[in-house]
């Protein structure tokens, strides 16, 4: 078979071109440090490289997640450590001021420190990291909280079946609650939620609520979040039966908000209604509780009832019993009246409201040191050095409430403000009557939810990075804020029994916080262990990826040198072939 010169030269040129291409590829590998840069280099390996890079990107994202979650948990641990220290100081004050060596003035001074600690605790509970609250769950919602009701609740058409509510600033039309008997609070809440969310005005504005029954009262929460998230019950015939003729309103600006809970006295003879209370100036709030008392249909006074209860021994007493302690135990029941504990025998007594002349209880068995409770007050009488009480002995009891606003003119629906609190009273079935009482109790309320903020650390694996505030601060064991406020009120009221209770409550609150700290620590440890695992895996994948795509520079240079020699040799062969060819002869 004849081989032409053109075939020979074509083959040589092809070889030269291939060698040059290999040199270019090798030079690219050396300059880029990558031996596979495109699918044509090695389709199978290129696909594996893409997979490894995706795995590394996923690992990097999970490590960033862990870093963020670790920062949140670290901040939570610091906050809870500070809270534990504050509770330790609370306990120290409770132990110190429970001693009989302290005067009422000493305890009132201690109450000022306790209130400052309470404000510090609220500030700690509202800590945020990167604009996200540590203890809010997943969102904060403004809400309207009602007063206590006891199901079953009956709603009657045309009688007590309407509501008007404002949600995030939008006021509803007339909402009609379906008539019927609601056996449980949950059933009632579900019906109220359905009817509110069906309101055309609210729907058109994109507003909606979630209604729950919390222990003994309704809570209507806006489904929006943040400072503009609010709910307020503004009217309707159902407010009384639903427990919404009082209570509090708060917005969703903070996880833990100051609140003012209002309620009407059960013995009121007038027909006035009180709105839900709010805090208008948190800097002026005192954490004390109050009573609004009408001296007539058009005037009222405001009293601070977080004050001492005095017990006076009648001068005609023949027995030896003395008062050992007294204080306010439930400010939602105080009446500002004067009372008499009247002994009908050495072992029995009656409690009489000296202001109204009504007998509150009779035939009560006397035990030295036992609690005598009535109208939100508690008195302890004990046998003295001269023995116990005798028939005919009496003790006068009164609350030393402080008047903070005197002879205020009543205008139906006008705002009533004092000590940073705000509410209004308006005529209902009638105007208020002389002697009518409306109560205001302050406190701190959780505005968040029970939601968990979790980060992804593996396929179908997440780790939570938060503890909701209703677990840590207002948890199942104790409401930390209510406990600390209880100590402040007991100190202000010079009530030794309340101080002792606060001492025990401080232990419970500390255990609750320490338990939360333990959970935070466990979560942090898990994140640390997960980081170690992911980092090791990241190293393995990186090494594997390097083996697949990275250039062995020494080997590549050696190959390039060999390719250069091959190019030179091939070029030389081509030159010799040209010299011996017919083309050279014809030349």
- Could you report the per-residue pLDDT of 486-511, keeping only the tens digit for each? 999 999 999 999 999 999 999 999 99
The pLDDT of 332-349, averaged and rounded, is 97
Is the pLDDT score of 578 beyond 60? no
Q: Residue 117: its pLDDT value, please?
A: 97
The pLDDT of 274-286, averaged and rounded, is 95
**Structural domain containing residue 571:** 5-35+550-586
Number of domains within the chain: 2
Q: What percent of the chain has pLDDT over 90?
A: 76
Calculate the dihedral angle through the C-alpha atoms of 19, 25, 30, 32, rounding to the nearest 10 degrees. Answer: 170
Residue 246 covered by a domain: no
Residue 295 covered by a domain: no
Residue 485 covered by a domain: no
DSSP for 54-77?
HHHHHHHHHHHHHHHHHHHHHHHH
The pLDDT of 339-350, averaged and rounded, is 98
Q: Which residue has the tokens 């029995």?
A: 348
Residue 365 covered by a domain: yes
Residue 450 covered by a domain: no
Q: Residue 559: its pLDDT value, please?
A: 57
Residue 10 covered by a domain: yes
Q: Residue 532: its pLDDT value, please?
A: 92
pLDDT tens figures, 107-124: 999 999 999 999 999 999
How would you write 488-512 as a 3-class SS string?
HHHHHCCCHHHHHHHHHHHHHHHHH
The pLDDT of 405-409, averaged and rounded, is 97
CA distance 481 to 486: 8
Domain end residue (candidates: 383, 399, 415):
399
Domain end residue (candidates: 399, 430, 456):
399
Work out the mean pLDDT of the chain and round it to a whole number: 89
In this structure, the strands spanning 175-176 and 217-222 are unpaired
Is the pLDDT score of 249 beyond 80? yes
CA distance 131 to 274: 37
Is the pLDDT score of 574 beyond 70? no
Cis omega before residue 152 (within 30°)? yes
Assigned token pair, 581 = 């060819």
CA distance 547 to 49: 10
Is the pLDDT score of 133 beyond 50? yes
Region of 205 on the Ramachandran plot (φ > 0 left; ψ -120 to 50 alpha; else beta):
alpha
Residue 348 covered by a domain: yes
Q: Residue 48: its pLDDT value, please?
A: 73
Q: Residue 387: its pLDDT value, please?
A: 95
Assigned token pair, 501 = 């209770």
Q: Residue 475: its pLDDT value, please?
A: 83
Q: Residue 50: its pLDDT value, please?
A: 77
- Angle between helix 104-125 and 43-97 (nearest 10): 170
Q: Residue 51: its pLDDT value, please?
A: 79
The pLDDT of 422-445, averaged and rounded, is 96
Q: In what order do the strands lie in the sheet with 437-446?
A: 256-264, 437-446, 290-294, 299-304, 402-409
pLDDT tens figures, 41-96: 567 766 776 777 788 888 899 899 999 999 999 999 999 999 999 999 999 999 99
The pLDDT of 443-465, averaged and rounded, is 91
Residue 361 covered by a domain: yes
Residues 6+ apart with CB under 8 A from 190: 211
Residue ranges with strand state E in 244-308: 248-250, 256-264, 272-274, 278-279, 290-294, 299-304
Q: Residue 111: its pLDDT value, please?
A: 97
Q: Which residue has the tokens 């083959």?
A: 11
End-to-end Cα separation, the chain, in angstroms = 26
Is the pLDDT score of 409 beyond 60? yes
CA distance 538 to 345: 85
Do residues 272 and 430 lie in contact, with contact meaning Cβ atoms separated by under 8 Å? yes
Do residues 423 and 440 lie in contact, with contact meaning Cβ atoms separated by under 8 Å? yes
The pLDDT of 517-527, averaged and rounded, is 95
Is the pLDDT score of 587 beyond 60? no
Q: Residue 54: its pLDDT value, please?
A: 87
Least confident of 421-430, 436-445, 457-466, 493-502: 457-466
Q: Residue 290: its pLDDT value, please?
A: 98
The pLDDT of 330-347, averaged and rounded, is 96
Is the pLDDT score of 210 beyond 80? yes
Domain end residue (candidates: 366, 399, 432):
399
Q: What percent of the chain has pLDDT over 70?
A: 85
Q: Residue 552: its pLDDT value, please?
A: 47
Q: Residue 11: its pLDDT value, please?
A: 63
Identify the helix (H) or strand (E) that includes residue 327: strand 322-328
Top pLDDT among 30 and 104 is at: 104
């Amino acid at each position: 078979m004849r081989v032409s010169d053109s075939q020979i030269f074509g083959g040589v040129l092809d070889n030269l071109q291939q060698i040059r291409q290999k040199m270019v590829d090798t030079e690219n590998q050396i300059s880029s440090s990558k031996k596979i840069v495109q699918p044509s280099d090695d389709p199978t390996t290129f696909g594996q490289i893409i997979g490894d890079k995706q795995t590394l990107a996923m690992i990097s994202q999970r490590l960033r997640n862990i870093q963020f979650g670790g920062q949140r948990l670290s901040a939570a641990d610091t906050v809870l450590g500070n809270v534990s220290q504050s509770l330790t100081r609370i306990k120290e004050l409770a132990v110190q001021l429970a001693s009989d060596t302290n005067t009422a003035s000493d305890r009132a001074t201690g109450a000022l420190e306790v209130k400052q600690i309470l404000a510090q605790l609220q500030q700690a509970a509202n800590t945020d990291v990167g604009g996200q609250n540590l203890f809010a769950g997943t969102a904060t919602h403004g809400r309207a909280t009602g007063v206590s009701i006891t199901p079953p609740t009956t709603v009657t058409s045309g009688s007590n079946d309407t509501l008007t509510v404002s949600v995030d600033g939008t006021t509803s039309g007339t909402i009609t609650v379906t008539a019927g008997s609601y056996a449980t609070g949950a059933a009632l809440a579900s019906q109220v939620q359905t009817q509110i969310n069906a309101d055309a005005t609210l729907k058109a504005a994109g507003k909606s609520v979630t209604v729950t029954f919390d222990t003994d009262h309704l809570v209507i929460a806006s489904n929006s979040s943040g400072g503009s998230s609010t709910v307020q019950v503004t009217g309707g015939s159902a407010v009384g039966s639903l427990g919404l003729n009082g209570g509090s309103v708060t917005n969703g600006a903070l996880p833990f908000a100051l609140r003012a809970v209002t309620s009407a006295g059960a013995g009121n003879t007038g027909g006035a209604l009180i709105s839900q209370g709010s805090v208008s100036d948190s800097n002026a709030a005192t954490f004390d509780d109050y009573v609004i008392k009408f001296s007539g249909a058009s005037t009222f006074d405001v009293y601070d009832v977080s004050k001492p209860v005095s017990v006076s021994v009648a001068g005609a007493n023949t027995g030896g019993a003395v008062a050992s302690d007294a204080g306010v135990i439930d400010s939602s029941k105080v009446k500002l009246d004067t009372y008499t504990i009247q002994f009908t025998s050495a072992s029995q007594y009656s409690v009489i409201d000296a202001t109204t002349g009504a007998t509150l209880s009779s035939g009560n068995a006397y035990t030295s040191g036992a609690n005598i409770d009535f109208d939100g007050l508690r008195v302890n009488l004990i046998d003295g050095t001269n023995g116990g009480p005798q028939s005919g002995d009496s003790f006068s009891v009164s609350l030393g409430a402080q008047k903070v606003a005197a002879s205020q003119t009543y205008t139906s629906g006008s705002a009533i403000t004092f000590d940073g609190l705000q509410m209004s009273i308006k005529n209902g079935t009638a105007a208020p009557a002389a002697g009518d009482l409306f109560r205001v109790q302050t406190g701190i309320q959780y505005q968040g939810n029970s939601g968990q903020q979790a980060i992804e650390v593996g396929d179908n694996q997440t780790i939570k990075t938060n503890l909701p505030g209703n677990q840590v601060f207002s948890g199942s064991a104790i409401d930390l804020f209510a406990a600390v406020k209880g100590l402040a009120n007991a100190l202000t009221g010079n009530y030794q029994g309340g101080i002792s209770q606060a001492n025990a409550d401080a232990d419970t609150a500390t255990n609750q916080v320490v338990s939360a700290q333990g959970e935070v620590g466990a979560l942090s440890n898990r994140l640390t262990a997960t980081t170690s695992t992911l980092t090791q895996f990241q190293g393995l994948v990186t090494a594997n990826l390097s083996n697949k795509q990275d250039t062995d520079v020494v080997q590549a240079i050696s190959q390039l040198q060999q390719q250069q020699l091959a190019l030179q040799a091939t070029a030389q062969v081509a030159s010799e072939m040209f010299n011996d060819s017919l083309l050279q002869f014809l030349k």
